[in-house]
Amino acid sequence: MCHDHALWRDDPSFTKSLLPGVRIICDYFAELIRDDGLLAPLDGWNFTDWVPEWQPFGVPPHASTESSGILSWHAVMTFRMAGELEDWFGEPEMATLQKRRARELAHNTHRCFWDESHGMYADDLAHEHWSEHAQCLAILSGLVPETCVDRLKAGLLGERDLSRATIYFSHYLFETYQKIGAIPAFLDRLEQWKLLLENGLTTPIEQPEPTRSDCHAWGAHPLIHFYITLAGIRPIAPGFSKVEINPQLGPLQWLKARLPHPNGEIRLEVGHGAISVSLPEGVDMIT
């Protein structure tokens, strides 16, 4: 959340004030890394997603008793983001530390959870469980060996026996689809939101039926994915001072977007082989 806030809002003093808390959380997880380089099981409720076959209560297979591929890749991604925050607002020495933690944990997570025969990352050390979640977090970490990336993409899009992301975790799935250019798959997975109307709902639910909450904020993330995935408008420097615009329409023929910005508004029109962009003053664009 701090990383998102740093990029989307021009609020450096507040973001910098949060860095001590970020460091404490990263230190806690770093202390859980064992001598073998793997992340030890975490205390408490390691909720990840409301996957029906994950029992009890949305916890990945064996995550309460052994190192988890899913939770490990999540930690790798978080260490990397913490390193970027330190580069932007903190201390270069802290940035070096967080990036080293990310690299080392990524190396050991790959070593123990990569399965050459599947071309994917397992959820558990025995390589008996597989999910979209592990593949997404690995790709989003940015630290998967280059030799594995293509097979990982193919597995995520083509493997049928994966535990599927439900409502909230689909945000990370959609982030991954954007990163690998899988827009048709993104549009297909929006069907679960269209089904809400058929069930008489006008707000997004928390989890697949039987749902616990019929009005849950985390189910609304397709709203932002219109902008950051289809329109491809993303901040790439703190304070939204630089923006990447990379529309990916897939089978869609045209798109219009107006996105609030700390300095005004970004406007985008795409269609018929042309693209039109209007940016607030002082904002640099990368395409």
- CB 170 within 8 Å of CB 187: no
Reported in sequence order, the residue ranges of 60-191 that DSSP labels E, i.e. its strands, are: 114-115, 120-121
* In-domain check, residue 197: no
* In-domain check, residue 84: yes
SS3 (DSSP) at 224: helix
Amino acid occupying residue 285:
M
Quickly tell me which residue has 């001598």 as its tokens: 35
- What is residue 199's predicted lDDT score, i.e. its pLDDT? 86
- CB 56 within 8 Å of CB 46: no
What is the largest distance, in Å, between two alpha-carbon atoms of the chain? Answer: 57
* In-domain check, residue 267: no
Task: Give the Cα separation of 133 and 175 in Å (integer).
Answer: 12
- What is residue 47's predicted lDDT score, i.e. its pLDDT? 95
The backbone torsions φ and ψ at residue 209, rounded to the nearest 5 degrees and listed phi first, read -55, 140
- What is residue 213's predicted lDDT score, i.e. its pLDDT? 87
* In-domain check, residue 58: yes
- CB 217 within 8 Å of CB 175: no
Task: Give the Cα separation of 193 and 171 in Å (integer).
Answer: 13
- What is residue 253's predicted lDDT score, i.e. its pLDDT? 94
* In-domain check, residue 264: no
- What is residue 279's predicted lDDT score, i.e. its pLDDT? 96
Task: Give the Cα separation of 48 and 50 in Å (integer).
Answer: 7
* In-domain check, residue 201: no
Residue 123 makes CB contacts below 8 A (sequence gap 6+) with: 60, 61, 62, 63, 68, 69, 70, 113, 129, 130, 131, 133, 134, 163
Domain housing 158: 1-164
- Per-residue pLDDT in tens (0 to 9) along the chain, 287 residues: 999 999 999 999 999 999 999 999 999 999 999 999 999 999 999 999 999 999 878 999 999 999 999 999 999 999 999 999 999 999 999 999 999 999 999 999 999 999 999 999 999 999 999 999 999 999 999 999 999 999 999 999 998 899 999 999 999 999 999 999 999 999 999 998 988 888 889 999 998 888 778 899 999 999 999 999 999 999 999 999 999 999 999 999 999 999 999 999 999 999 988 999 999 999 999 87
- What is residue 13's predicted lDDT score, i.e. its pLDDT? 96
* In-domain check, residue 73: yes
> What is the pTM assigned to this prediction?
0.95
- What is residue 56's predicted lDDT score, i.e. its pLDDT? 79
* In-domain check, residue 1: yes
Question: Distance from first CA to last CA of the chain, Å, rounded?
Answer: 25
270: which 2 tokens? 């795409």
Q: Looking at the 3D structure of the chain, how many domains does it have?
A: 1
Nearest to 70, CA basis, from 89, 54, 92, 90: 54
Residues paired with residue 163 on neighbouring β-strands, in sequence order: 131
Count of CB atoms within 10 A of residue 260's CB? 12
**Can you give the CATH number for the domain in which 154 is found?**
1.50.10.10
- What is residue 57's predicted lDDT score, i.e. its pLDDT? 87
- CB 112 within 8 Å of CB 38: yes
